A and B are shown apart, each in its own frame.
Chain A
Amino acid sequence: MLWIALRATASASSPPHDAAHPAPEQLALAWWALQFSPRVCVVQEAVLLEVHDSLRLFGGQRALLQRVRSEAAQQGASALAVAPTALAALALLRTLPVVAQAEESAKISEPLSPIPAKSCTPAALQRTLDALPIEVLSATHPHAPTLQRLGCRTLGQLRALPRGGVSRRFGAALLEALDRAYGLRPDALEWLTLPEAFSARLEFAGRIEVAEGLLFGARRLLAQLGAWLQARQRGVVALALHWEYDLVRRGDASNGSLHIRTAEATRDLVHLTRLLGEHLARVTLSAPVVAIRLEAPQTEALATQSISLLPEDLREGETLQQFIERVSVRLGAERVLRGQLVADHRPQHMQRWQPAATTPAPTRKSKAKLPPHLRLHPPWLLREPLRLAVQGERPIYQGPLTLLAGPERLESGWWSLLSSAEAEGQELALRDYFVARSPHAGLLWVYRRRSAGEPAWFLQGVYG
């Protein structure tokens, strides 16, 4: 039996943990540890995993411990201890100093005299544990004052007390914990399972008044979400953040929520944090917030790309989809547009602009055959045709226009009139398109509208 105990760096703002609600960092570390062994449990402030059966898969004890040491630091673990029994590993972990905040050096502290767990004889285990103070065993905490008065300071002294007396005086729980630590009784712990759907709640120690303050807590939950997605090999498509108002001061306000959708399944936590930050910047809280809950209602299986060995493939920076999503959040989805060709003979209806965040990019190039006369049309089209003033018989746009070529007659589609209720008298009118030159505006594409009454000149496009 080989037990590894890991401790996550606790955040300073979190309330003291309790057994039913482990901190998000602990859960993230536990879910990460599931890749090494299915036997992972969360015990008080530590994550314990039993890896004896996985030793062969990972190439031996030394290789496995090396890997755990190097990767656990990135996952937010600050201390590691190894022992043949669970409570012994926990006890060794508790001898290490607590690190308040995650340090940049990301070094894991380990006990100075680690037990060589594989070739550990019971005598060696006894020798190491005998020297530890009794506080490292949590079963002694209720009886700590009595044991102090007895003069019992270390586990060795506790073990030397008569067993019958200890069980009568302090209860059977203390004796059982002692036996389990020394390997005399088997451990029975409840293993952690990965939930099917992700839902995590975080309670704040204080009250959050500003929406941006929610981002700090949301970041911790996002790290937990990242660990869950990694363990499940999925990417998130829809994300929901709910916040609960303070019951006393909330008045009529009901709990608020925020929903984010991404166009493609993603696991990129930096991008999700930025998206969440942009959305939260527009939220105003009507009451102080006491807790937040993060859920991922929709996830998809994600195929990750394998890392390339070529340096030019490893460019950093965001992908196009992330860029489109971020700009859509800031400006509005209807202002980031991608065009689509429509088969129509009217110039202003030949393309349709759709929000790029919600329409995926077409994977195949459109192979539509375009009519050859389109090469002679202008590359710029005005949003609305501009009515031109007429002097004499000539239209004017930054100078009198000289017509150079034309006319090209385009009739509108009569079928559009049946569907739209707008009284578009000019839709049915005939348009004669000309290419005209203006002294200051270059080549223009103008048309003359033939309807009942005076012919009117409009500017539709610019040859630029």
Chain B
Amino acid sequence: MSAVLRTLHPAPSPAELAGVWRADQLAQAAQATLPSGHAVLDAELPGGGWPLGQLSEVLQAQSGLHEWRLLLPALQVAAQRGPLVLVGAPHLPHLPVLASLGIAPERVLRIDARTPAERLWVAEQALRCKELGALLAWLPQVRTEQLRRLQLAAQGSPAVQAAAFVLRPLTAQHESSPAPLRVAVQSGQGTQLALQLLKRRGPLREQPLALDAPLPVLAALKPARGRTTEPNHAVDRPARDRIRQLTAA
């Protein structure tokens, strides 16, 4: 009897059901994703990139340490679709540098919201805007239910191609969060980034990923790894070959 039932109604595979995945496999995301630009990271993220229409949490020791290195390739693509909204940024974005790195300066919108309530309100309103390209919100103090509200706003957002990143301190890794993707970033060996996937729609990964996220200055500094002596500060003697290397890059 049960065999007849099974052939009459074959059970749908998890790939066909939205929101269902096997615990030992990466979820095949039904919604679009934004390629992160780092091949090592894309292989470990469900859908092959940062999820669109959902919150992605990035935890780091201090705000301002690793955002551009981690998110720059994805933000280059997102800024072409719509404005990049920065809510509560710790420092000023240096627009000419961002322009030379691929993000147009007229696409950057900086909102100087100071209190946590203002930042949450602005982030929610940004997610209601249908022309949003990407949202970066620095939320050092936020509760789980407030994040849940932001997650619902991101899911119901009319901007279907918008990526939403919430940047929080590393101490928040022990709190629960409704974001479907949580990532902790620290500086790794040498100039690499050590990225730990705290939460994703897929199997648990214990070892951190080593990302080679480079900024152009790091390429210029590479031969300097072997230096053991420091320039003598008492005498102002500029290192001429260093300048030549820097300006030639």
A and B assemble together: yes
A134 CB to nearest chain B CB (Å): 56
* Contact in complex: A461, B126 (CB < 8 Å): no
Kindly state whether residue B22 has any CB partner on chain A within 8 Å.
no
* Contact in complex: B246, A376 (CB < 8 Å): yes
Closest to A375 in B: B216
Given contacts A366-B106, A376-B217, contact A404 B224 (CB under 8 A): yes
Contacts of B243 in A (CB 8 A): 408
Closest to A376 in B: B217
* Contact in complex: A356, B109 (CB < 8 Å): yes
Bitwise, A316-351 to B at CB < 8 A (1) or not (0) is 111110111011001100011111110000010011
A433 CB to nearest chain B CB (Å): 10
Closest to B133 in A: A320
Closest to B122 in A: A327
Kindly state whether residue B12 has any CB partner on chain A within 8 Å.
no
Bitwise, B193-217 to A at CB < 8 A (1) or not (0) is 0000000000000000000000111
Bitwise, A397-414 to B at CB < 8 A (1) or not (0) is 000001111111100000
B34 CB to nearest chain A CB (Å): 18
Given contacts A319-B129, A335-B111, contact A341 B83 (CB under 8 A): no
Bitwise, B179-205 to A at CB < 8 A (1) or not (0) is 000000001000000000000000000
Kindly state whether residue B148 has any CB partner on chain A within 8 Å.
no
* Contact in complex: A406, B110 (CB < 8 Å): no
Please choose the segment from A89-97, A170-178, A435-443 that sits at the chain B interface, where 4 or more of its residues have CB less than 8 A away.
A435-443
Total interface residues in chain A, CB < 8 Å = 65
Given contacts A338-B109, A375-B249, A441-B62, contact A365 B92 (CB under 8 A): no
A380 and B97 CA atoms in complex are apart in Å by 9
* Contact in complex: B105, A366 (CB < 8 Å): yes
Closest to B90 in A: A380
Given contacts A320-B129, A375-B249, A443-B217, contact A381 B93 (CB under 8 A): yes
Q: What is A's interface to B at a CB cutoff of 8 Å?
A: 315-320, 322-324, 326-327, 330-331, 335-341, 347, 350-351, 353, 356, 361-362, 365-366, 370, 372-383, 393-394, 402-409, 432, 435, 440-443, 448, 450, 455, 461-464
13 A-B pairs whose Cβ atoms sit less than 8 Å apart in the complex: A319-B131, A330-B118, A338-B108, A340-B106, A351-B105, A375-B249, A380-B90, A394-B233, A403-B231, A405-B239, A432-B236, A442-B66, A448-B233
Supply 12 further A-B pairs (C-beta < 8 A) apart from A351-B95, A366-B105, A404-B224. A320-B131, A320-B132, A323-B125, A335-B112, A339-B95, A347-B94, A361-B106, A372-B249, A378-B97, A380-B90, A408-B246, A462-B64
